[in-house]
Amino acid sequence: MNNLEQLKQLLQQASGHKSPEVKVVGETVTFTKLCRITNEFYSVTISISQYLKWKAGVRIQTVTPLLGPEEREFIISGMTPAEWNEMFKIEEDAEDEYVGIEDNLNVIDLNSLYSDSDKEEIEKLKKKRINKKQK
């Protein structure tokens, strides 16, 4: 079975999936979807060879080393970068000093579970975030 036949078979199996629309043009495969956040189309293009290797089980990072993580995630999950950021955004007004979980009216202090090196790393990340907001 040649690459084009393999590709057609894989695309038929994927039809009806909530992933982006997949189009084959020449020697490339393009994934396109209307982003529900920006209301703009987002697309990523890879070669047929890369697509077939990925579908055969090779890690997408290995197959598409020149794509960024957001582009690879789009191919895998169909989530655009804007949708990803919306889903996992951190509340801007969330209190950074305390992280806890309420469990039957008892509050578990998660900060006590971190090692000293973890706490130092968290503080560095907080400072970076504050500096980023101030710019």
pLDDT of residue 101: 46
What does the domain layout of the chain look like in residue ranges?
Answer: 3-87, 100-134
**Average pLDDT by consecutive 10-residue portion of the chain (135 residues)?**
64 55 89 90 93 91 92 91 82 48 47 65 71 64
* Distances 24 to 99, 124, 127, 135 between C-alpha atoms, Å: 47, 45, 46, 42
pLDDT of residue 88: 80
0.85 surpassed by pTM: no
Q: Rounded CA gap, 7 and 24, in Å?
A: 9
pLDDT of residue 61: 92
Q: Rounded CA gap, 45 and 61, in Å?
A: 15
